[in-house]
Structure 1
Amino acid sequence: MEPQFSMTTQRDHSGTRLDAQQEAKRKSASDYSHIKGWGADLDHKNRPAYPMERKPPRLEGLHWHDIEDQPLRVKVYHSIERPGITPVFGTSTPPSGVSGKIRDVAYGLSENDIRHWLMLLFADRVNVVEGILHDLSRGHIPNIFAEMGWKAEMKHRPGRLALKVAVTATVLGLGYKMLTRRKARSY
């Protein structure tokens, strides 16, 4: 038994009715212009939208000058893999204190070394503690709960806040117990 082919009508993406022969013609290998991006890798000579290189290039009227380097008034860190600092850099928080010393050591290591990144993370945490101590030395008691977002965490993630409080209490309790146990056993 031979298969029977019936002329079915279909619609293309614009809603126009197509019969089977038109459908086959539209999908032929010679016409893929209905596909977005078709022809992007064709010969550049036949593509008017492809930017053509001018020879010689038009360079009249250029007035670019090298910018002056920003004056170096604070210590600025840069990778040991690069020859120098960038022409413009931030100076809002120069390195200071213990965190600055940790950064000195960290920037002596390659960026490919995990110790470099771990020391920078540790220096950030030390800088937070230094900031709190600085506030206390000036007579300002920081509102640590508000600054750490405890109110928002209580509202949006109370379970996670309870876990943080439980872990902190456990660590502090174990630390206190270890310190008092040592004092009790000292001969």
Structure 2
Amino acid sequence: MTKVPYVSGPRAGIPSPDELRARIPGWGADLDPADRPSVPQELDDGRPDGVAWDFPEEQVTTSARERSIEHARLTPVFGTVAPLTGLPGAVRRRAYSRYSEARAAHWLLLLGADRIESKQHLVRSMFSRRPDNPVEETGIRSELTGHGIASRRGHGRVDRHQVLDPVIVSLPAILAGWAAVRTWRRVRG
């Protein structure tokens, strides 16, 4: 028996076609096979003839993994290098457990989790022995010494955000440094 990651057929919580047709104008316009040019190429079981490939052995799950709500189960093999931890992990779990990949909320939560993680890294770096150096690591110096401004003039380039780059790059570091100094002064008395 072939197992597939996506299970078709009736599933709990999914509206019926009649409910969708009443709610969404034009829904189901491609349900009639005569209206779909891909019908001759569609496969009933999702597996073309003559394929000598079997479903791989499933990887053992040692902890809860994020999985799109569109799929009934995880793919047979998945990454375990960076497990979800902390506040960014909670935000990512929320995105996967609550919202479909077709919803903007899913992707906005994932973007938000990335931003939270980057700010956590910035704060961690500031309190480490070797904090990040935004001037060296973001390329600001090369913009000034490597003809950054001249390379953008008169060439029809669309990245006209050069004026904002120093603000976007340095403002979070400046604000975090200011907050650290204020906190240090309050703690010291």
TM-score, length-scaled by structure 2 = 0.48
Q: Radius of gyration: which is bigger?
A: 1
TM-score of the superposed pair, with normalisation by structure 1: 0.48
